[in-house]
């Protein structure tokens, strides 16, 4: 997959570090950077106290919009110095439908980049991941603290469990894997014709081999440890600089609830993670 447009989502209270990292990534890949600065608005006051607090609420909205515009101008000034192709846009939206709006923007990029600075605004981070991952049908590159985003990794872990999301993630990362050392990694796999096959990992290894990719199949025993701990330790053991995995969830009303391993990896990954739903 050739990545020609990268969407970087940031908030109004972040430093410039995530934008700088996104600019470096785009410079190395020859890609266009779409920087999206997002501010989440509180819902308007309702009920018997609405009249009393509406003025304060409107004043707060005005301050947030001014801050959003200021942050966007700062982003333009920073990116203008990098020499890359870029655009900067803003969203001021209520929390309830922010994921829909972010997801719509992500639909017009090849990949979304979410840096560690988003952890300063946990609500925005959750909404950005939700929107980019589940509402855009595009991959998301999630970068942890002290992680360096890359589209040209040297060593890749493909977290494999034979499910649809993992298959989509593998297909998305094929071009990356052609030039990398690839570890197809299964945790506590069960040999079954209906799931992993009689030799877990063999089928996906054969599929990747037909694309000219040499892989090592690593079948790991958890020993009762959480799967994310096992994957993170294995990433350290093989000096991986990217993990590729499917993003899992289930819906409840209008809330998107991440699956257990997905949620854990979003919080605990020690290297960048490329996810696709």
pLDDT one-digit tens code per residue, 197-215: 568 899 999 999 999 999 9
Any idea which fold 5-142 has?
Answer: Rossmann fold (3.40.50)
Residue intervals in the chain for CATH 3.40.50.620: 5-142, 155-276
The pLDDT mean for the chain works out to: 88
pLDDT per residue over 135-183, tens digit each?
888 999 999 988 899 999 999 999 999 889 999 999 999 999 999 999 9
pLDDT on residue 197: 58
**Helix, coil or strand: residue 114:** strand
Strand bridging mode 111-114 / 140-142 = parallel
pLDDT at 253: 38
CB 234 within 8 A of CB 187: no
- Rounded to whole angstroms, the Cα distance separating 26 from 150 reads 9
The pLDDT score that the predictor gives to residue 257 is 47
Using one digit for the tens of pLDDT, what is the confidence trace for 27-64? 999 999 999 999 998 766 665 555 556 667 677 788 88
CA distance 140 to 8: 10
Classified as helix, coil or strand, 25 is helix
Q: Which CATH class is domain 155-276?
A: alpha beta
Residue 95 banded pLDDT, cuts 50, 70, 90: confident
Query: Which tokens go with 97?
Result: 């439908």
Copy the structure tokens of residue 115: 């840096």
């Amino acid at each position: 997959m050739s990545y020609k447009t990268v969407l970087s989502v940031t908030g109004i209270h972040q430093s410039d570090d995530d934008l700088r990292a996104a600019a470096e990534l785009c410079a190395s890949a020859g890609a266009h950077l779409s920087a999206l600065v997002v501010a989440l608005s509180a819902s308007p006051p309702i009920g018997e106290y609405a009249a009393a607090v509406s003025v304060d609420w409107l004043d707060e909205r005005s301050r947030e919009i001014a801050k959003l515009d200021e942050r966007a101008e700062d982003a333009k000034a920073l990116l203008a110095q990098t020499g890359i192709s870029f655009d900067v846009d803003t969203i001021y939206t209520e929390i309830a439908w922010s994921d829909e709006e972010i997801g719509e923007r992500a639909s017009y990029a090849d990949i979304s980049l979410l840096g560690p600075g988003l952890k300063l605004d946990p609500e925005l981070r959750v909404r950005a991941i939700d929107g980019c991952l589940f509402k855009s049908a595009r991959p998301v590159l999630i970068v942890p603290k002290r992680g360096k985003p890359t589209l040209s990794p040297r060593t890749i872990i493909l977290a494999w469990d034979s499910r649809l999301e993992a298959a989509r993630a593998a297909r998305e990362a094929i071009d990356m894997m052609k030039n990398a050392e690839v570890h197809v990694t299964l945790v506590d796999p069960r040999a079954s014709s209906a799931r992993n096959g009689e030799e877990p990992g063999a089928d996906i290894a054969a599929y990747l081999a037909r694309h000219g990719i040499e892989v090592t199949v690593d079948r790991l025993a958890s020993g009762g440890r959480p799967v994310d701990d096992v994957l993170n330790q294995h990433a350290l053991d093989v000096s991986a600089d990217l993990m590729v995995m499917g993003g899992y969830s289930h819906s409840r009303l209008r809330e998107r609830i991440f699956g257990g391993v997905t949620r854990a990896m979003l919080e605990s990954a020690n290297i960048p993670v490329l996810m696709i739903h």
